[in-house]
Structure 1
Amino acid sequence: MEVMEIIKDAFVFPSKDMKILLIYVILSVVAGLFSLGGTFAYILGFIVPEFFMWGGMAVIISMLIGWVLYGYLVSVIKSGIEQSDEVPQFEWWENFITGFNNFIVTIVYFVIPAFITVVVGYATDIVGNFVIVCEEIYLQTTGVYMGASSDIALNALSQALTNLAISLSITIFVAIIAFVIFSFLQTMAQARLANTGSLSEALNVFEAAKDISRIGVGKVIILVILVIVVIGVVEVILSAIFAIIPILSILSLIVSPYLAFFAQRAVGLLYSDIA
């Protein structure tokens, strides 16, 4: 399918079964309430220790519901891969298992760029340079340089700040590149999970990279950018409306899942080119 066809189809798709969207919204609200209640219970736990247990139970329930929702989004991707016009129904146990697998995929594809960032940060000695900057500031504020030229003190601090800035710049640049690349790979991994139902296939980073090549790097980038633009435009328009009529902000409970369905459907339709 052409990119604009994908965008049009994906944007209309969630409205084809508002009942399913409503179920997703209700589950999202319930999960959010359990998460909020669990957090509040943990805070109370410092006063009444028994609340720690209730907080833990609430968080676990929220997480379990979240996995069902996370798994359902994979089924939306699958509907796109199969180019089905029907909004998938909730398959509770299957959605739960798929959601857990999707959670694992997300963690793995997040850990890899995070690890790369840590390695680069270590190689550029961010911590060491930061310590040196702190030491230089301490030496100047405590008057250790009183007997020396002020130029020496300033030059030492300036050099330390320069080294820290270089370390941070390199690390941040690499981090941005790594996370962007793995965000694309994660998108392909989720599509592979939807297409095969196999966690091992989804975790195959090299095959996920090949999928991007098979579809076309340009097409993948253009679609992702268009999806982001559409979501951004919708949110900006709604934010302006909500600012004028605050009570309508409750509609965001429906709009956010709608846009999530839109994005996942678009991924599935994109992946259908090679499925």
Structure 2
Amino acid sequence: MDVIEIIKDAFLFPSKDIKVLVIYVLLSILAGVFSFIGTFVYILGFITPECFMWGGIAFIVSMLIGWVLAGYLISIIKSGIELDDEVPGFEWWENFITGFNNFIVTIVYFIIPAFIVVVVGYLTNIYGNFMIIANEVMSQAQNVYMGNSTFILSEAASQAIANLMISLSVTIMVALVLFVIFSFLQTMAQARLANTGSLGEALNVVEAAKDIRRIGVGKVIVVILLIIIIIAVIEMILSSVPFLAILSIIISPYLLFFAQRAVGLLYSDIA
């Protein structure tokens, strides 16, 4: 399918079964309620220790519902891959297992760039420069407090500040590039999970990268950018008009369905 067909099909797809969309919305609200209760009760735990347990239970329930929701989104990707025009229904246990697998995929595709960023930060000596500055500031502050001198950073501390700025700039740039790259790879990993049902296939980073090349790097970038732009514009309109903000309860899940369907249709080129 070409890019315009993908976007058009994906945007209309969620409207084909509003009942399923409403179920998704209600489950999302339920997960949010349990998350809020967990946070509130956990805070009360500093007063009543038993609240720690109940807060933890509420968080777990919220997480379990979240896995079902995530698994259902993967099933929407699968519908796009199979070019199925029907909105899939909830398959509770299957959605739960798939959602759990997607949770693992998300962690793995986050840990890899996070580890690389930590290594870059170590190599550029962020920690060392920061400690030089911190020690100097503490020393100078103590001297000023004792009335022994004015607050003047040493040449070594000034150089450390300059080095820290360079280190942070390099590390942040690497982090941004890796975030973008692994976001694309994670999208392909989710499509692989939807297509094969295999966690191992989804975690195959090399093959996920090859999938982007098979589909076409340009096509993948254009489709994903269009998805981001469309969602951003609609969300901006909703947030700028107060009486429309309530519609985000329905519109945001609708846009999620749209994005997942578009990913599935994109991946159908090589499935």
TM-score, normalised on structure 2? Answer: 0.94
Residue equivalent to 1:73? 73
**Structural RMSD (CA):** 1.6
Instruction: Please say if 1:254 is aligned against 2:254.
Output: no
Residue equivalent to 1:267? 263
How much does 1:158 deviate? Answer: 2.6
Unmatched segments (≥5 aa) in structure 2: none
How much does 1:194 deviate? Answer: 0.2
Q: Distance in 1 between matches of 2:221 and 2:154?
A: 46
1:135-174 superposed matches below 5 A: 135-143=135-143, 153=153, 155-174=155-174
Match of 1:233, SS state, is helix
| CA deviation map 1:134-172 (0-9, x unaligned) | 23333444459x89xx7xx55433311110011111111
Unmatched segments (≥5 aa) in structure 1: none
Residue equivalent to 2:105? 105
| CA deviation map 1:26-74 (0-9, x unaligned) | 0000010011101111111111111122111111111111100000000
Q: In structure 2, what residue type is equivalent to 1:131?
A: M
Structure 1 consecutive aligned stretches of length 4 or more whose deviation exceeds 4 Å: none
Q: Distance in 2 between matches of 1:75 and 1:86?
A: 11
Q: Distance in 2 between matches of 1:269 and 1:63?
A: 28
Instruction: Please say if 1:207 is aligned against 2:207.
Output: yes
Q: Distance in 2 between matches of 1:37 and 1:135?
A: 42
Instruction: Please say if 1:24 is aligned against 2:24.
Output: yes
User: Once the two structures are aligned, what percentage of the paired residues are identical?
Assistant: 72
1:214-253 superposed matches below 5 A: 214-242=214-242, 245=243, 248-253=244-249
Is contact 2:238-2:247 (8 Å) kept?
no
Is contact 2:105-2:203 (8 Å) kept?
yes
Match of 1:220, SS state, is helix
Match of 2:241, SS state, is helix
| CA deviation map 1:93-127 (0-9, x unaligned) | 00000000011000100010000011111111101
